[in-house]
Structure 1
Amino acid sequence: MNTDINYLTALTSEFFSDKSIQKKLRLINERNISGWETWLQIELATFLHEHASEPDWEREVTLSIDKRKEKSKLTIRPDFIIRKKGWQKDRYMAIELKINPSVKSCIHNLMADFVKLGKMKRSELDIRSYWGIGLFLTQSDNEKPTSDIVENKILEWGFDCDQFAATNIFEIPKTPYSYIVL
């Protein structure tokens, strides 16, 4: 699990350090553009495709839901599945990407995705772990600390905070945004 979070944190750090991504994020904020989650997923896909570590990745792979855990929905499609080169074949991390100006809403949406991912049928594809990347506006100094908001949301959803001990929150340089790897 630490291997996964370390790899994902390194990837996201490199991705959000890219000057071109930062410039586009500033424009998105300045022009108050909405609906840009798919754009960010495409940028991340391009980044993964060109990355030196040569990860094996796919977008929105359809996976079956365990019918004992969910009756109404039959499938789930994580935003990404990623396997670092050299990892055991066919063992992937599932990644969900969420964007919301509000950290509280962003974390809420990630927690909802974790609940859905937990209903995945285990025999279909070996998902070694699942993670969320959340992008939100950086909290100002006079607002409640982001880490407190995250912890409250984790508890509200009934998860154990120890599960998320490796949670990382980062400000994206030269932008009004921060991101979390959860």
Structure 2
Amino acid sequence: MTKLEKDFEFLKRIFKKFFDRNEIKSKLNQFDELSITGWEIWLQVELMIYLNSLPDEVSEFSREIRYDLDKRKNKLRDCCAIDLLIRQKKAHSPIPIEIKQHRSASECIRRMLSDIEKYDQIRESNRPTDRFLWCLGIHSKVEDETIRKYLRDFDSKFVFTYPIPKTEFMITLF
């Protein structure tokens, strides 16, 4: 199994377990009932607490780490932040993850794709890892085919969708 495949399987497993937790589903349902938006930072913090409970799988994690952008690729901004870095046990480098949340699946995925462009603008010598960037999106449930249509340029082998049980939300990882 390649490093990319191992990272994908690892992230699918931990994110599925995280979103299957009753306390997370309860909060998501409250956000839905009260039409609360903008809970991305809450999600990052909850994920960090969860990652801390996995000492056999995760050796290190951090959030909102800033990196200098390559001035040749972006003349308007000096730096950007990666939402989450997770280093697996026995891994030499962390997995970078960008997290997005939006009620609309299409808007959520559009923002995730924008994060990939942002990551590509980080100065090569400043990149935190040799691993690929992964994007995790939380949005309203839609048909799997809809997500695949939005991500038609991506290898479907590395696109994971998961309707979160007993909620109106689903996750998309690519």
For the criterion TM > 0.5, the same-fold answer is yes
Letter in 2 for 1:115: E
Match of 1:77, SS state, is strand
Q: Distance in 2 between matches of 1:34 and 1:127?
A: 33
Match of 1:79, SS state, is strand
Equivalent pair of 1:98/1:110 in contact (CA under 8 Å): yes
1:100 aligns with 2:102: yes
Letter in 1 for 2:98: E
Equivalent pair of 2:7/2:95 in contact (CA under 8 Å): yes
From 147, 161, 165, the equivalent of 2:154 is: 161
User: Structure 1 residues 31-40 or 168-177, which shifts more?
Assistant: 31-40
1:114 aligns with 2:106: no
CA RMSD, Structure 1 to Structure 2 (Å): 1.5
1:110-157 Cα distance to aligned partner (Å, 9 max, x none): 000011011112222224110111001112xxxxx3433x344335xx
> By how many angstroms is 1:41 displaced?
1.0
Match of 2:17, SS state, is helix
Equivalent residues in 2 for 1:1-150, closer than 5 Å: 1-52=4-55, 53-88=57-92, 91-124=93-126, 125-139=128-142, 145-148=143-146, 150=147
Letter in 2 for 1:82: I
Equivalent pair of 1:103/1:146 in contact (CA under 8 Å): no
Letter in 2 for 1:131: W
Same amino acid, percent of matched pairs: 28
Structure 1-normalised TM-score? 0.87
Letter in 1 for 2:23: S
1:67-122 Cα distance to aligned partner (Å, 9 max, x none): 2221111111011011101001xx22111111111110010000000110111122
Letter in 1 for 2:145: S
Q: Distance in 2 between matches of 1:44 and 1:106?
A: 19
1:158-182 Cα distance to aligned partner (Å, 9 max, x none): xx322x5310100101111101111
Unmatched 5+ residue regions in structure 1?
Answer: 140-144
Equivalent pair of 1:48/1:55 in contact (CA under 8 Å): no
Q: Distance in 2 between matches of 1:110 and 1:33?
A: 20
Q: Distance in 2 between matches of 1:176 and 1:130?
A: 27
Match of 1:81, SS state, is strand
Unmatched 5+ residue regions in structure 2?
Answer: none
Equivalent pair of 2:58/2:87 in contact (CA under 8 Å): no
Number of corresponding residues: 169
